[in-house]
Every structure is written in structure tokens, then in C-alpha cells.
Amino acid sequence: MRLYQFATSPFCAKVRKILDFKGIDYEAVEVDYVERRELVLASGQMMVPALTLGDGETLVDSDRIALTLEERYPEPTLFPPAWRGVHLVLARYFDTELEDALFRAAVPYELEHYRRQGRDHEALWRLIRERKYGAGFVRQMVNDHAAHLSRAHELLALLDEPLGDRAFVLGRIGYADFALYGQLTYFAISGNLAIPAKLHNLRAFFDRMNRISATVET
């Protein structure tokens, strides 16, 4: 299998960790942000994640990829018995409302990441963001970084307390955990985990998920 990804994408992080959890061999292909020819040839579109399966079929969209992997590789499962619906609902929240808040807070981290790759990468990244969100969006996110970071921390604090001593969101690992882990990678783009130290349950959760390879720690 080949996973076409961007290092900064939380949805790619989610798929990577699901593949690791299920013990599936795959090659992670970091797509050049400017030159996406191989990605387009494989998937017919320019977005990631895209996963080319062993039979040559290429899947796009992290939810579709995850559900297909679950169907073809049911063990270990992403959906503990009787909890499938709850995991799907929580994952949808993490990948939409929470993602929007964390994405806005992480814009300066992403900007610096693509700036290090070159002016052409930064320019294209800015262009794509501002076509979607409007002219001046990136500058506004940088100027309002403190406010967006505060909002992101507020939402994360609501998740930190319920985690408590539990290893995973609902006690036993499942799909929602992979979605949350993916979104938290926004705070690791710089190379240093930027989740506040006071949110120690979330930091422990992130570290626990980050260490998953083919099996889960007991």
C-alpha cells in the first residue's frame, strides 16, 4: 500500500495511525506541495490522504479509507462492540468543529513549515487558504493567533478532564481516538508538542497514541 500525504495534515495522521494499529505494511509518500503529479496520477485528484491498496485501487477521504480498512482488516477493530455509532459521532465532531478551531490556531505553525520549504511552497499554501477563506486570511490568523489559541485550548480543556485516568476517549481504543489524535498533530507541526502542560491527560493521550505501532499497549 502507498499512502500519499502531507506532513501537516491531521487526516493523514489519522490514517497513518490506523494503518499502524492494524499492523498493515505501507509506504508513506510525502507529496511535494507544489508538484503533485504522482498524487494526481494515482488518485485523479490533488487532495490527501489518498491510499493505494494492494490491488491498485486508490481511496481518498480519511473516513472512506478508515471504513474500507476496517472492512478488509477487521482485527484489531476500530469499533468496539455496541460503540460504533458513538465513535462515528465523536470522530465527526473532532474532524469538523474541533478541526476548525485547531486549524485556525495552527496557521502560524503551518506557515512556518511551508516557508522553510521555499517561497513557492509558501505562496501556493497561502493561495489555497485564501481562495477558500478569503483574501488576507493568513495574515488575520497570524495577527489573531493568541485569540484562536485561547479558543483551541478552551475546547481541548473540555476533553482533558473526562479523559482522567482512562487510556482512551471511551475507555477502549476506537475510531474516535484516531480522529482526535490526528487533530492534535496540528500542535506538533513545529516539532515540539504545543498542547499546554496543564492538559496533562491530553498530552499523555497523544503520547500513548503516538507510540502505537502494530499493537496497542495494555
- pLDDT tens digit string along 1-48? 999 999 999 999 999 999 999 999 999 999 999 999 999 999 999 999
Beta strands, E only, the chain = 2-5, 27-30, 50-52, 58-60
Q: 156-203, pLDDT tens digit by residue?
A: 999 999 898 899 999 999 999 999 999 999 999 988 899 999 999 999
The CB density around residue 137, as the number of other CB atoms within 10 Å, is: 16
Residues 118 and 172 occupy one common structural domain: yes
Element (H, E) at 88: helix 84-93
Residues 53 and 102 occupy one common structural domain: no
For residue 79, being part of any structural domain is answered with: no
Is residue 217 scored above 70 in pLDDT? no
Residues 89 and 58 occupy one common structural domain: no
Residues 94 and 129 occupy one common structural domain: yes
Residues 117 and 145 occupy one common structural domain: yes
Of 52, 72, 92, which closes a domain? 72
Domain that holds residue 59: 2-72
pLDDT confidence bin for 214, thresholds 50/70/90: low
- End-to-end Cα distance, the chain: 28
